[in-house]
């Protein structure tokens, strides 16, 4: 177990020094594992006992639609945490499969220990955990709002608006390709392309690849 320095920037450990983090981790069961591309970290339906932190590499959370199509639900880059909400809910089956895209080093932490440890730093970590889960909740909430809209155009407008307020600029690049964006918005990919073109023709927006400009 080496090179945990990035954990000082991890949402779970914000506010803690490197020394405090290693001190804390040495007191509870945790382990580091390495996964090869395509390896599965968590199967959909698993009941987990550990939450995970990506130390290096990239993984994705995915689920499968009724037709068996893959749907990418989340992108897990370095320092991203998975299984935390699951840990909090205590005993739920995982709704997603987590799979490595590249070679991944992952830190697994026994969540019962994390939640119930009497360690003096545990208090701070629980606060961080609450914040992290809450932010995930609101990210999900944002998507809910979009999925409730009826037309593709409305969905796109609300999404782009939100991105604009996030970046503070009317021109920005999004980190989703067309396929992922259409999944996120809950619409057909070609229908999305069609509507984007129409919106460009209507002078509402401009875009090239993943760079968008809002003209309203």
**Residue 80 · residue 54 · CB < 8 Å:** yes
Beta bridge partners of 171: 213
CA distances from 150 to 44, 61, 154, 159 (A): 30, 26, 7, 13
# binding residues, its own copies (CB under 8 A): 37
User: To the nearest whole angstrom, how small is the minimum distance from the Cβ of residue 138 to its own copies?
Assistant: 6
- Choose between 11 and 101: whose C-beta lies nearer to its own copies: 11
Please give the Cα distance from 42 to 83 (Å, whole number): 9
| Residue 150 engages DNA in binding (rule: CB under 7 A) | yes
Query: Which residues lie closer than 8 Å to 83 by C-beta, 6 or more apart?
Result: 42, 48, 50, 51, 52, 94, 111
- Pick the stretch among 7-15, 105-113, 126-134, 177-185 that binds DNA (CB under 7 A): 177-185
Residue numbers 184-213 binding DNA by CB under 7 A = 186-188, 190-197, 207, 209-210
Token pair for 14? 């914000």
Token pair for 177? 């390709």
| Residue 89 engages its own copies in binding (rule: CB under 8 A) | yes
x/- site string to its own copies, residues 108 to 147, per CB under 8 A? -------xx-----xx--xx-xxx-xxxxxx-xx-xxx-x
Please give the Cα distance from 188 to 91 (Å, whole number): 34
- The DSSP letter of residue 117 is -
| Residue 152 engages DNA in binding (rule: CB under 7 A) | yes
Token pair for 72? 């990418």
Exactly one of 31, 77, 140, 151 binds DNA (CB under 7 A); which one? 151
Where do contacts with DNA occur on this chain (CB under 7 A)? 150-153, 177-179, 186-188, 190-197, 207, 209-210
Where do contacts with its own copies occur on this chain (CB under 8 A)? 63, 65-66, 71, 85-90, 92, 95, 115-116, 122-123, 126-127, 129-131, 133-138, 140-141, 143-145, 147-149, 154, 186
């Amino acid at each position: 177990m080496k090179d945990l320095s990035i954990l000082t920037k991890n949402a779970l450990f914000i506010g803690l020094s490197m020394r405090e983090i290693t001190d804390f981790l040495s007191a509870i069961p945790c382990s580091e594992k390495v996964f090869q591309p395509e390896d599965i970290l968590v199967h959909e339906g698993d009941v987990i006992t550990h939450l995970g932190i990506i130390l290096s590499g990239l993984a994705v959370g995915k689920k499968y639609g009724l037709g068996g199509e893959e749907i990418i639900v989340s992108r897990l880059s370095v320092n991203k945490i998975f299984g935390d909400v699951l840990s909090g809910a205590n005993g739920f089956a995982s709704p997603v499969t987590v799979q490595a895209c590249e070679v991944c080093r992952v830190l697994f932490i026994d969540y019962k220990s994390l939640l119930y440890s009497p360690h003096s730093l545990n208090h701070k970590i629980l606060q961080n955990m609450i914040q992290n889960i809450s932010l995930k909740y609101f990210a999900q909430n944002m998507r809910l709002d979009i999925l409730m809209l009826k037309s593709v155009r409305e969905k796109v407008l609300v999404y782009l608006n939100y991105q604009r307020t996030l970046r503070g600029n009317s021109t920005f690049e999004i980190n989703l390709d067309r396929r992922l964006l259409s999944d996120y918005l809950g619409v057909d990919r070609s229908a999305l392309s069609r509507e984007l073109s129409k919106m460009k023709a209507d002078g509402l927006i401009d875009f090239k690849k993943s760079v968008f400009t809002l003209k309203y």
